Every structure is written in C-alpha cells, then in structure tokens.
Structure 1
Amino acid sequence: MVRFNGIGWDATSCLLLLLYAHGSISKGFLQAEAYFLAAQKRMGMLLCRNGAIEAQCFFLAGVYLMATLRPVGAWRMFVQALACCQGFSTQSTNDSRYEDEWNTKQRIYWTCFKSELELRLELNLQKNVLDLSYPTFFPSPPDGLKTKDEAAWYFYLAEIALRRLENRILGYLYRPDTAISESTMVYAILDFEEQKDAWFRSLPEALALDVETPNTDQYEPFRFILRGHFLDCQETMYWHFLVEAIYGRVHASSDVFLRKGLKVCVDRIQQNQSGFYHRHHGTWLMLRSCTRSALVLLAAERCTNLVHLLPLGWEETIFDVAKMLKFWKDESSDL
C-alpha cells in the first residue's frame, strides 16, 4: 500500500518515519532530517490522543532532537510524550492481554518521565527543587521474565532508584528559604553516601560497576549509563563544598568531600572519552557535564586552598575536553 499510496498520516506511520530518521543519522543528516520533518507533519493529529504509540512518537522525536543537539525542542517533545502517558487508562481487569498492555504503558511512562526530568534540570527550567516529585511506585516487571531480559530489567530499576536518590539529595541541599549548618550538611552527606554505597552493592553481577569487563560485553552499554548517573549523583552531593571552596569559604571538615568532588570531575571526563566523538541520545548532556567538570578543575587549579587536592592526570583531561568541544563546535551555537 505504501508503494502506491505513500506513507499514511496516522500514528503508526509517524512512528515508522521516526525510526527511519534514527536509522539514517549515521548515513547523513539531510536524509535523517527529511524523515523527521515528514514525521513532524503527522504529529498534529496525535496531540489529542493518549495511546502508547502516540507517546512513543513524541518520545522518539525528543530522542532524535537530543541526538542532533537541539535540547529545548527535545524537552518539548518529552513533555508532550509524558502528557500522553498521563491519559493512560488504569481501569482494572483480569484480562491478561490488558495486563501486558498496561505493563508496556508503565515502561513507556517511566522512560518519558526520566528523560523529561533529567533534561529539565539541565536546562534549568525548574526553579523550585521541591517540585522534583517522583512517583512512589516502581514499574511492574513483565510476566514470565526470561533470563536474557533480566539484566535489562534490573538496569531499568537501578536507573530509577539512582534518579530517586539524586532527587532526594537535591531536595535536601537546595531547599529554598532553609538554612543548613555546615555540620548538619556533613552528616546529611555521610548519610547520602551510605545510600549511594547501598545502591552500588545491590547491583546484580551482570551490572556490577566494580568488575572489569571487555567493551564487547553485551551489558557494557548498561554499565556505561549507570556509571554516568552514579557520577551525577556524586557530583550533586559534593557540589556545595566545591562552590564554597572556590569562593574561598573552606571548612575544616570538607577536605575529604572536596577531594572526592574533584575526583568525580576527572572520572567523568575519563569515563566518557569513548563516547566523545559519537552521536547518541546523551551527546549534548555529555558535552555539558564534561565541560562543567573541566571548568571546575581549572577553577580549583587557581585556588591555593584546592590545588593540592587535584587528582593526578587532571591536566590531560582538560585537553581532552577541549578536543571534544572542537569536534562538535559546528553542531551547536552554545559550544
């Protein structure tokens, strides 16, 4: 039918065009953009619907815009995808087919929710951290979970749990109109470190982050993403102490946190080097976070009270980030 009548104007056709766009990015931007623009023309009729396919269309459009370094447009798509998910029916039934459909919708919802929240925070679109509410439930695993799918499902749950922890840290440290003494904050960070370590220990063997595995391992992409989120969580914990020290307000009890915070900066750059020159969903976020880490290291080098805490090899990471930014400089005006 497509051969004779062309691609349709329904949600399924829109989804198909978005898949073509994603598959064409590596071959050429113009071809990928043509598919995306064709899909975009079909999105208007999806706005008033709440189906799973409609949510997937907006989500994949957001992923495409992230891969092409258009984060604000991507955020709008994630918001619309999440709006579709809010309309999912929760009517209870004993029909197993409905249960499978509902479990699928739950997974789509969580995927949209995480992507929208992470990008919203990075774009600084939210001024009140108390609005960082996160659903209290976890998505339900599919029935008859097979061994080959277990690692993917554990990754999904581990990512959600770590996101929740980071939100709790943000909510505690940056509550508006609330003064927190330095000693109270130190005790709070120690508690968050225990929670972080508990998360680390809870990972199944397939996703363990402290085990050396070859890059060809089938679960390495999962571990790569979890390592990145793990560093995000640590950066949030130690950020306050780094800012205070860079502005000359050093506290005797903060040296250990400062050392850890600076190490996170180096670890982030070194860990992401394998993805510096590859286009993917997280490219823009990687550029932002690695540049931020490099700038913190440069600021610390200019502070007499911090220079002795800099990890070995920090200078090399600065040059690595500079090369990365040079590679992507023509892709976005804010690089």
Structure 2
Amino acid sequence: MVDDDISYPQQSSLPSLELCELSRLEAKYIACVHTKNPILDLVTLHDLISQVAEHGLDWSARTCLVSMVCALGAISEEYTHAYTPDRISGSCLPHDEAFKYWDIAMKRLGFVIGQNNIESVQCLCLTGELTIELSLPKSILERMDYPYTFPFPPNIDRELVVGEDIHGERRTWYYYLAEIACRHLINRIIEATQLKILDPSAAGIERMLRDLEMFETQVNDWYLSLPPSIKFPHPFGTIQPLEDEINQLLRARYLGIRELCCRPFVELVINYDLSNMPSELLAKVGSIASQGLQYCMFRLQAVPPQYRHHGLWFQLPNSTTCALVLLAADRARHELQPNAIEHLKMPQGWREQILTTHDLLAGYWKSRQGSVWAYFQVFQWALDGCITSL
C-alpha cells in the first residue's frame, strides 16, 4: 500500500459472506485483477467462493485466498481512459469493505507460509511483492536456473464458468506472456553494463550505441510479435490514454523500455563535458537524447486518470521521474557548456504537460499522506527551481 503513514483500525465486524456479495467481488476481481495477472484457475476459484459462502470461514489457505480475492475486488477500480470531475478521490474508495476481507486474510497468512500447496503460493503472490523498494540483498532464487522462460497457458478452450468468455481468457494470456517477455527485456537492459556510463569517451559511447541498437531491435521484435487483439498503435505526435486497458498497459511498457534505453544518453548530454568528441558523434548522442525526452513526454501524456490498480505504486514514481528528466534537460540547456546540449531538442508542449502531471499528482495526494507524498514534494522542489517560466 502507498499510504503507509495512515493507520487503519482493526476491523471489529466480519464482512458479508453471502454468496451474492462474494460473487460480486469475485467478478470484480476477475475484471480488474485477473485479466492482468491470471494466476488463479477460475473454475477452482468459483468453487472456493461457493464453499466459503456455504460453510463459512476456517483457517485454511483456501479461506485466505478467497478473502484476498474479495479484498482486491473491493479495493480495485475499473479502468477508464477519460478524465471526469472528482475521479481522483480517496473518499469514494471502499476501504472499509476491503480491509475487512484483508483482516481475515492477514490473520491466516502465518499458517499459509508454512503450507506446501498451490493455494498458499497464490495467497503470497496476491499479498504483494515490494522488496524491490528495499535495499536488501538479492534472493538466492534469482540465481536459480528455471528451465522455462514462460509459463504454460491453461487449456483455454475448455468450458469456463462465472460468465468469462474464451476470447477474454485467451486475450488475458496473450497479455500475460507479452508482459513476461517485456520484463525479461527490461532486466537485460538494466543489467547491461554497456548502457551504463562507465567510460564517457568516444570508444565508450560507441559501445553504448551498439548496445542501444541491439535492445531497440529486441523491443521492435517484441512489438511485431504481439497478436492483433493486444497490439497498440505506434506513438506519434500527441498521444492520449487508450480506450482498452490491456493495450494501454502494453503501450506503457513499450514507452518505458524506449525511454529507459535512451536515458543514459540524456545523462551524457546534461552531465558530461563532451567537447572533445567528434561532431558526428555529438550529433548522434544529442539525437538519441532528444528521443529520450520525447519518450518521457509520451509516458506523461499516456497516463490515464488515476485509479486503484496493481501498477499504481510504480506508475507514480515513473511519472515523477519523467517530469524530473524533462526539467533537468531544460536546466542544462541554459548552462552554456561546450557539449552536445546544442543538439538537444525539447518535446513540443513539454511545459504544459509538466503542469498537467503536477496537477494530477497534487489532486491525487491532496488528502493523503504516505511515502509517495515525497515524490510530489521533490517534484514541487524541481518546479520551484525551474529556470524556464512554466
């Protein structure tokens, strides 16, 4: 959760365990969560929901899993690509209902950890994984050789229940596999030492350019491999959030990878003296850095209205980062240094987009506290020190 400074009281009453209410939350979970993370078998889940409604709560992993599903179904919001008045509001979120189900699940997690079954693993996956935010040593699991790059999809052509169509389930798995492939590519980019500025010389930059070409080829191959049902249009000009959530999420991944590949070149231009570099190399670095700024712009333009979803924790700092990169580039352009800055071009309309992003974050966090509030404070600090009038 992003509101770690807010304490929620322990729930003194149980939530509804009526079948109609559990089924409503199950359907909402499927629509808002399962379509992006299909780790549960829906036929089995439907049976577990019916069992809890009929027999009540026990201390099993199955009860924990049902409670987790209901909590996520209660707190999640459906995707919308259009901005509406008062869309961003903490008061409209059903926190109380969600935390009642979460309280049930939380009391059973200790038992779940000690059990060796599929429901226990599913519970721990749905609980959330935030260790990426902590400065801890990497798990030994990251050094294990897993023989399969991708999971095997289920038999989607079988008869499904709870109103789910075969086309929707197949499309969910297309997205899930595309997301995994994208994650593999991001990991390779992050681990690539050639894209890190270890040697800001002409030879070092040439090595960076070769790696950039390799990763751009890989992301292009990824895009071309997308099935038509989940493929999104290439970004061009001024972009808007897409109507379909899966297309929107995959495009966000694509824009993020493109921007990540170009970011070292933005850093080269604004932080290093490249005056001794050949003019052709300076022009190439400046062009790639300009592309990176354009992808920062695309990432900000593509942000949909804020809603509760599984990627919100990462989306907020990503938006802040892109805004700060644009502000840093503008500041560097006003510092007369003999480097590639003269080849750097700011995206059209970037000032207006910075203010739009600022207002979006301010509106979302105006009634909240928590660790993500620090992102907005850094954003505000950067705006206060901005050289260009916004």
Q: TM-score, normalised by structure 1?
A: 0.71
Where does 1:79-98 land on structure 2 (aligned, <5 Å)?
none
- Mapping of residues 1-335 of structure 1, within 5 Å: 6-25=56-75, 27-62=93-128, 74-75=129-130, 120=132, 125=136, 135=146, 136-143=148-155, 145=157, 148=167, 149-173=169-193, 181-210=204-233, 220-250=244-274, 252=282, 253-272=284-303, 274-275=304-305, 277-304=306-333, 305=341, 308-329=344-365, 330-335=368-373
Aligned residue type for 2:218? Q
Cα distance change on mapping 1:154 and 1:233 into 2, 3 Å: same
Please, what is the CA RMSD of the aligned residues? 3.3
2:195–2:264 Cα contact (<8 Å) kept:
no
Shift of 1:5: 7.7
Structure 2: give runs of 5+ residues left out of the alignment.
1-50, 78-92, 159-165, 275-280, 334-340, 374-390
Question: Cα deviation per residue 1:78-106 (whole Å; 9 max; x = unaligned)?
Answer: xxxxxxxxxxxxxxxxxxxxxxxxxxxxx
Separation in 2 of the partners of 1:3 and 1:209? 41
CA distance in structure 2 between the partners assigned to 1:20 and 1:172 by the alignment: 41
Cα deviations by residue, 1:270-314 (Å, 9 ceiling, x for unpaired)? 111x23x21111112110100000001011111122695111111
Q: Give the CA deviation at 1:245.
A: 1.6
Q: Distance in 1 between matches of 2:330 and 2:292?
A: 14
Classify 1:175/1:206 alpha carbon distance in 2 versus 1 (closer, same or farther; 3 Å).
closer
One-letter amino acid of the structure 1 residue matched with residue 222 of structure 2: W
C-alpha separation between the residues in 2 aligned to 1:321 and 1:21? 30
Relative distance call for 1:126 and 1:240 in structure 2 (3 A) is farther
The offset of 1:235, in angstroms, is 2.3
SS at 1:303 equivalent: helix
Q: Given residue 182 of structure 2, which amino acid in structure 1 is its aligned partner?
A: L
> Which segments of 5 or more consecutive residues in structure 1 lack a partner in the other structure?
63-73, 77-119
Q: State the shift of 1:186 in Å.
A: 0.6
Distance 2:267 2:138 in 1: 19
Q: Which amino acid aligns with 1:189?
A: L
Matched residue count: 273
**Percent identity between the aligned chains?**
30
Mapped partners of 1:327, 1:183: distance in 2: 44
More helix by share: 1
* Deviation larger for 298-307 or 313-322: 298-307
For residues 290 and 107 of structure 2, the distance between their equivalents in structure 1, rounded to whole angstroms, comes to: 51
Larger relative contact order (Cα-Cα within 8 Å, sequence gap ≥ 6): 2
Q: Write the distance in 2 (CA, Å) between the matches of 1:307 and 1:11.
A: 59
Contact kept in structure 1, 2:195 and 2:208, CA below 8 Å: no
SS of 2:186 mapped into structure 1: helix
Post-superposition Cα deviations, 1:20-46, rounded to whole Å, max 9, x if no partner, equal: 212322652133223212210111111
Inter-partner Cα distance in structure 2 for 1:156 and 1:301: 38
Partners of 1:134 and 1:169 in 2: CA distance: 20
Match of residue 88 from structure 2: none
SS at match of 2:310: coil
